[in-house]
Structure 1
Amino acid sequence: MISVLFAILTAISNGAASVLQRRAARTVPDSEAMRLSLIGHLLRRRGWLAGIGLVIVAAVCQAVALATGPISLVQPIFVIELPATLLMAGFVLRVRIPGQIWYAVAAVTLGLALGMASAAPGGGSTSVRGTAWVTALIVTGIFEAALIGAALSTRGNPRGALLGLAAACGYALTAALMKDAMARLEGGGGAVALLTSWQLYATAAAGVGALFLLQNALQAGMLVAVQPPLTLGDALISVLYGVTLFGEELRTGWWVLPELVALALVTVGCTELARSPLASGTAPPPARKLR
């Protein structure tokens, strides 16, 4: 399935970008938090620029995935971004992956599979009809404002977690807007319809806003505090957008029980993975081989 393939490619690119960006963001002084000058500091760091390159690759892959599949299927797949990145980093750095990391990877993978099989997302339209966007944008704005206001009243990991969730909401909104914009391209209007749609430019604005929030989240707190709300928030809020805006359907009734089990597995797995030295960029150097 094309949408699943490109969703996986998106997850891998985004996961690698998060690690690179966090390593760069942690070198910025606290005095630059929530200021545009934070981006100026980051632009001078090659690791952060490499992360931005991966973000661009991820955006292209995400556009293809959303154009060919429901948002409630595509976005939850992104929970694999952290496990895939850590395993790749361990291979490249020749660092032995400890047993608890493998257990965490298994938990995330099993949780994703169980969640997708239980919820069976599907159906819905490719575009948002009527004035549904008006209500969605108002509610999203209120939610984002509440999160940012709460984050500014605290410091450290709590701030990182709150801003991580705010960034997740921004990325979920970006995905919903992107899917609606891509529908204009496929609706017969071609590139002209896409370029003249407000959704395209709203996608760019939401994406930049989410990126700004993520940099501040990574600068404020440890990855173990930022990554779980970022990953899970993106998936859950995207499903909410899929159901309310695009009319996509999920299984309910007794299926909610395995869905909750799946959510618990993914949460535990992501939290354990985010504690890994590989995720924080502090993994020990590879051991020298004896001759």
Structure 2
Amino acid sequence: MVISAVLAAFAAASNAFASVLQRYEARTAPSTEAFRLALLRDLARRPLWWLGIAGVAAAAVFQGAALLTGPLALVQPIMMVELPFTLMLAAVVFHQSLGVRSMVAVVGITAGVVALLVSVDPSGGDTEVGVGRWLLAAPGIALVMAALIGLGRAVRGVARAAALGMATAVMFSLTAAFMKDATGRIPFGAAAFFTSWQLYATCVAGLFALFLLQNAYQAGTLVVTQPAVTVGDALVSLLLGVLLFEEELRLYGWWLVAALLGLGMIIFGAVELSRSPLVSGVVAPPDSAEARRSSSPGPAEQPAESADPEDPAGPPSAM
């Protein structure tokens, strides 16, 4: 369990490292190259961008190893510390101070993750999921995804960002579940791993999750989107760990109260970090209004009351 937790933390740090470096290079790319292959050709000539790609690959390896050695309900909540890692790395790369509120948020998320995991104490579980169990779970997952995406297409502003953020969280959790099921076949040999449908389902689900994430970012500010993605991923992963892998959680008595307290700390920290211009500058799409605000001159930490009002309509979704 300790090894799985450490590997998951390394995965989160690698993702944060990749996000910061890729955003650092994307900031200087011409805006005329947005949504064009020319953007990739430009970035491919930059060593730091490739270092970010290496970070993505390392994160996948660390996460796969963590899922191979530990429960899904343990690994995915730990991945939430990617947001604090991102903020701290961005402060170094972009030469800005964190600010007191951001530091409090970092502590809040970290302490919340610890409190949540200690309280629910995920344990046990299978390393593989039978086809029958996937078939039983598939209709429910498909129904939830259809409802969230349908809601995201029907509404605007905050509601769209929240709905698409939750849809993204479900897909990230499902991607991790596919990955854990695929890595569970590694002990049976390379052929069993590379011929498993779960491996390729991981790739497809991951790409779809990234597509949904960009639409969620486009629909509203990070203050809405990031908490939905961050907290939703952890909660759905806890549920999938129980339903698919038969993992055990301690959800009774005062342990449940402590778990809810930890969850509240995570939500508070995610909302506060989402307000930070540092996180906006790294996570928001390069040509979005939020990214432009974060890259403009100004103090590293702005009070909430001075932040730009949220555009309720937002740009049209790419979906």
Q: Place the TM-score, normalised by the shorter chain, in its bin.
A: 0.7 to 0.9
1:22–1:218 contact (8 Å) kept in structure 2: no
1:140 corresponds in structure 2 to 141
Residues 22 and 220 (structure 1), Cα distance of their counterparts in 2 relative to 1, 3 Å cut: farther
What are the ranges of 5 or more consecutive residues in structure 1 without an aligned counterpart? 30-36
Q: Which fold has the larger relative contact order, with Cα–Cα distance below 8 Å and residues 6 or more apart in sequence?
A: 1
Moved more, 153-162 or 47-56: 47-56
**Paired residue total:** 277
Q: Give the C-alpha shift of residue 260 in structure 1.
A: 0.5
Moved more, 83-92 or 266-275: 83-92
TM-score (norm 2): 0.78
Equivalent residue, structure 1, for 2:264: 264
CA deviation after TM superposition for structure 1 residue 156, in Å: 3.2
Aligned-partner SS, 2:184: helix
How far is 1:14 from its partner? 2.7
**Separation (CA, whole Å) in 1 of partners of 2:114 and 2:270:** 15
Q: CA RMSD in A?
A: 2.9
Matches within 5 A, 1:109-148: 109-148=110-149
Matched, 1:170 2:152: no
Asked whether the 8 Å contact 1:10–1:57 carries over to 2, the reply is yes
| Aligned twin of 2:162 | 161
- 1:198 is aligned to 197
Bigger drift between 104-113 and 92-101 goes to 92-101
Q: Does 1:247 align with 2:246?
A: yes
Whether the 8 Å contact between 2:16 and 2:89 is mirrored in structure 1 is no
Equivalent-residue separation in structure 1 for 2:239 and 2:108 (angstroms):
23
Give the Å deviation of 1:116: 1.2
Shift of residue 286, structure 1, vs aligned partner? 9.2
Query: Shift in Å at residue 142 of structure 1?
Result: 1.2
Contact residue 222 and residue 275 of structure 2 kept, 8 A: yes
Alpha-carbon distance change, 118 to 152 in structure 1, aligned in 2, over 3 angstroms = same
Report sequence identity in percent. Answer: 47
Q: 1:3 aligns to what? A: 4
SS in 2 for 1:131: helix
Q: TM (normalized to structure 1)?
A: 0.85
Which whole-Å deviations, capped at 9, do the CAs of 1:184-236 have from their partners, x for residues lacking one? Answer: 111x2x01111111111111111111111112212222222211011111111
